[in-house]
Amino acid sequence: MNPLSVNPKVVPFNDASRLLVEEDVRRQVAFAAAQAVDYSGPLLVLSEQRLRDNARRFIRAMPRVRPHFAVKANPDAAILKVFFEEGAEFEIASSAELDALLKLGVRARDVFYSNPIKSPTALKYAAAKGVQWYSLDSVDELQKIAAIVPQAKLYIRIEVSNEGSSWPLAGKFGASPAVVDTIIAAAKELQVDLCGVTFHVGSQCCNTENWVEGIKSAKAIFEKLTGNGFTPQLLNLGGGYPIQFTGTEPTIEEISLAISAELASLPESIQVMAEPGRYFVGSAGCLVSQVVGTANRDQARWLYLDTGYYGGLMELVQGFPLKLVSERTGAAELWALAGPTCDSIDVLGSHYLPNNMQAEDLVFFPNLGAYSSSCACDFNGFPAPKLVVVD
């Protein structure tokens, strides 16, 4: 049983949830520390068991919803293999992500191409490999897909509220109701198979209403599709399912409960899927970094790490409530944290750590299995975290 699976009806939400988060942080740090005994550079340590637990818990909580892991969250081959073994399918954004899946033996026809804008080259490549499902949120993209993959099965990415998410995706993608109408009209003219709707509530979304409203909007579009001679087949709930950073985030069971009435009134002929990324992999990974130096500057104590903005800690800068853990026991002090590169963007904000931190001390960042190593590069010659998946 996953230690975070608390029935909110039985355990009063507050201290119990917070304590479970603290216990989980301790567990993640102990697990990562065991791999960092001979530390030689930044590490992202992932627990294979936790990857499996996360996938299983999602599947159990959402029986009607087929999970398609969002490969972008962490495309490591060992991680993809674990989720494939657990019965998950996959969502991709690029040709490289498709290749990683094909190498694993995933069937192209089970892969969903959910990037709403794809290059003509990428479309030709995916079509040649046998990908059938493609998302879009504009008439331009519809015309592009229709010309290259006329037999494609298409799903519209609609705009939904991203309020309450830590990493909103609204604005860049998502068709407004007026644009949806133009897409339906163009699809009719081009005689393509427009048969699904998707949305994304924003990553690490703590507002369950976003999913409820998204499903309601999708249902209204299904009616329009039917009225225009199309047959709705797919509701794709996208990603955004949060992990527990503080214990105040909705659990996957609570999200399932919140959307259950809307899903119950959906015809059985409509396949329901989701694209969890962070939920599957985030809580399975702990990033380990090392202090390279300290300094007094501008009346602040600065602490420089061997990895930073470019090396997997981007979300720390974006205000995610990550916990920083040290093996030292000094009194907590506010440090100005920075990465090792010469770039001024590589400054990570003010964070509490023991006041006696020194060069070569390790700093642990639990809950960073998603969007850390996958967003990292070796700018300035500082290596991106090495990823290890441990049994």
CA 348/CA 282 separation, integer angstroms: 20
Q: Quote the least distance from Cβ 97 to ligand PLP, whole Å.
A: 11
Q: Quote the least distance from Cβ 197 to ligand PLP, whole Å.
A: 13
Q: Which is nearer to ligand PLP, 162 or 341 (CB)?
A: 162
Q: Which is nearer to ligand PLP, 211 or 279 (CB)?
A: 279
Q: Which is nearer to ligand PLP, 47 or 135 (CB)?
A: 135
Q: Quote the least distance from Cβ 205 to ligand PLP, whole Å.
A: 7
Q: Quote the least distance from Cβ 298 to ligand PLP, whole Å.
A: 36
Q: Which is nearer to ligand PLP, 241 or 335 (CB)?
A: 241
Q: Quote the least distance from Cβ 164 to ligand PLP, whole Å.
A: 13
Q: Quote the least distance from Cβ 277 to ligand PLP, whole Å.
A: 3
CA 119/CA 114 separation, integer angstroms: 13
Q: Which is nearer to ligand PLP, 255 or 338 (CB)?
A: 255
CA 199/CA 242 separation, integer angstroms: 16
Q: Which is nearer to ligand PLP, 169 or 184 (CB)?
A: 169
Q: Quote the least distance from Cβ 10 to ligand PLP, whole Å.
A: 27
Length of the chain, please? 391
Full 3-state SS string of 13-69: CCHHHHHHHHHHHHHHHHHHHHHCCCCCCCEEEEEHHHHHHHHHHHHHHCCCEEEEE
CA 143/CA 127 separation, integer angstroms: 15
Q: Which is nearer to ligand PLP, 28 or 203 (CB)?
A: 203
Q: Quote the least distance from Cβ 239 to ligand PLP, whole Å.
A: 2
DSSP-assigned letters across all residues of 329-346? -SPEEEEEEE-SSS-TT-
Contacts with ligand PLP by CB under 6 A lie at 70, 72-73, 91, 114, 169, 200, 203, 238-241, 275-279, 370
Task: Name the nearest CA neighbour of 148 among 100, 206, 192, 90.
Answer: 192
Which residue, judged by CB position, is nearest to ligand PLP in the bound state? 239
State CA 41 to chain mean position distance.
Answer: 25
Q: Quote the least distance from Cβ 345 to ligand PLP, whole Å.
A: 21
Residue 329 φ then ψ, to 5°: -120, 15
What torsion, rounded to 10 degrees, do the Cα atoms 60, 236, 127, 226 define?
Answer: 130
CB 244 within 8 A of CB 283: yes
- Structure tokens, 169: 């995706």
Q: What is the DSSP letter of 381?
A: G
Q: Which is nearer to ligand PLP, 238 or 340 (CB)?
A: 238
Q: Which is nearer to ligand PLP, 312 or 339 (CB)?
A: 312
DSSP-assigned letters across all residues of 130-186? T--EEEESSHHHHHHHHHH-TT-EEEEEB----TTEEE--BTTB-B-HHHHHHHHHH
CA 133/CA 147 separation, integer angstroms: 15
In the chain, the N- to C-terminal Cα span, in Å, equals: 17
Q: Quote the least distance from Cβ 240 to ligand PLP, whole Å.
A: 5
